[in-house]
Structure 1
Amino acid sequence: MFLNGMNDLVVFVTVAREGSFTRAAAHLGVSPSAVSQTMRGLEERLGVRLLTRTTRSVTRTEAGEQLLSEIAPLLDQIEAHLSAVSELRRRPSGTVRITADEFAARHVLWPKLLPILESYPEVTVELMTDYGLTDIVAERFDAGVRLGGIIDADMVAVPIGPDMRMVTVAAPAYLARYGVPEQPEELMAHRCINLRLPTHGGLYPWEFGSGENEFRVRVSGPLIMNSVLQILEACLAGVGLAQLPDAQVQPYLDSGALTEVLAPWSDSFPGYHLYYPSRRQQTAAFRLVIEHLRYRRDAS
């Protein structure tokens, strides 16, 4: 009876997440009619409707929403525990899902993930780029990447990169035409390239100083973009000033393609951290990824 009940809950969670009997059936490897029959039996035993069915979609009722929020995390934990036990007798395998912003994915994660992909063919890494503060639990990611070590209390943060600076840069041609700002406040009179953050749709405020002397300047200009790589290209083309991670622009500073301004107001801050739920059972593949990504200051 217990196992049958567990199977019914697995079917319910799959249908609720997929929003479709057909897709849920394909995921579970059974027929749509079997899924429909299981759901009908579960609703009859509970005496409450969990799903609202139409010809085009399946949506959760209030009771279904409540059951999903309470049951799904428990089933995920059971699955993770079973995977962890199973992996004790074999090489690391399975999929590790990580969300990170574009710069971290390219410059911090990718160089360290490449050896894993070459040495462990059974491991798959799903790397999704996003500038928003993704809810990794709700979106079913194994981990996320965020600047600094400030995270929620139920998360673990592992440093994966060195301290960073956000540096203000421009092409020499731009500075020759519009002048060199000597104080952060002078940026208000300059053409600046803004970064649009997906979280609340706001613009990234440029940061200067550190500690108690930290302050922000909201700049304006002819161009707003949602990618630091695109902003770098526009800055190199002389469109305007940009504030970007030091590791990203250092090669262009070395070559003279870009010039740093306002350096006295640029201070270092904690770099990228990998964060993940403290209570989640770790698979061998995830532990492998953590150890490859972990930043060791004495080895840098």
Structure 2
Amino acid sequence: MAREQFNDLLWFLAVAEERSFTRAAARLGISQSTLSHTIKRLETRMGVLLLNRTTRNVAPTEAGERLQLAVSPRIAEIEAEMAAIMEYRDKPAGRVRITLSDHALNTTVWPKLRGILADYPDIRVEFSIDSAFRNIVDSGFDAGIRLGESVENDMVAC
């Protein structure tokens, strides 16, 4: 589905929930005319009338009710998941995967990381003890620590 079509569904839901083009347009921050044209385009594309309109009322047709019942919970799920994901910006959380040698883990990384993990219990660190050079991105790692001077051209050495 094209992004434009997704927006058309969101705008249809606003009209169906508000049962008014005027209130839905105000809620969406767009003109009533733009909203009306968008809904008409959606109905034309789908080949079915989604809203019954009079000068005073707007109500979903049977097809409109079906579309609203199908789409509305999914949009709510997406919005809830986006809100949950946005919690990551408030505190460090999630998984970090690091490939490194056992020597680097024991002498450098773990002594520094232990205190950080105690302060941020929502961070999960996975270590892969390995001395081979690898493409850390292709292998699904967030970081790689190696001893020596050989680093791939697209990697950063510190």
TM bracket (short chain) = 0.5 to 0.7
C-alpha distance in 2 between matches for 1:72 and 1:54:
24
Q: Which residue of 2 aligns with 1:85?
A: 85
Higher strand fraction: Structure 1 or Structure 2?
1
SS in 2 for 1:52: strand
Residue type of the alignment partner of 2:87: E
3-state SS, counterpart of residue 52 of structure 2: strand
> Which runs of 4 or more aligned residues in structure 1 lie more than 2 Å from their structure 2 counterparts after TM superposition?
none
| Cross-structure match for 1:70 | 70
Cα deviations by residue, 1:104-161 (Å, 9 ceiling, x for unpaired): xxxxxxxxxxxxxxxxxxxxxxxxxxxxxxxxxxxxxxxxxxxxxxxxxxxxxxxxxx
- CA displacement at 1:81 relative to structure 2: 1.1
In structure 2, the partner of 1:251 is none
* Cα deviation 1:77-105 (Å, max 9, x = unaligned): 111111211222138xxxxxxxxxxxxxx
> 1:11 maps to what in 2?
11
Instruction: Give the distance between the partners of 1:60 and 1:44, measured in 2 at CA.
Output: 15
Provide the residue aligned with 1:34 in structure 2.
34
Residues 156-235 of structure 1 mapped to structure 2, 5 A cutoff: none
Deviation per CA, 1:45-64, whole angstroms, max 9, x where unpaired? 00000000111110110100
**Residue of structure 2 equivalent to 1:21:** 21
CA distance, structure 2, for counterparts of residue 81 and residue 54 of structure 1: 37
Cα-Cα RMSD: 1.2
3-state SS of the aligned residue for 1:56?
A: coil
Matched residue pairs, number?
A: 91
CA distance in 1, matches of 2:83, 2:30: 22
Give 5+ residue unaligned stretches, structure 2.
92-158
Tell me how far apart the structure 2 counterparts of residues 71 and 80 of structure 1 sit (CA, whole Å): 14
Percent of aligned positions that are identical: 51
Bigger CA radius of gyration = 2
Q: Given residue 63 of structure 2, which amino acid in structure 1 is its aligned partner?
A: A
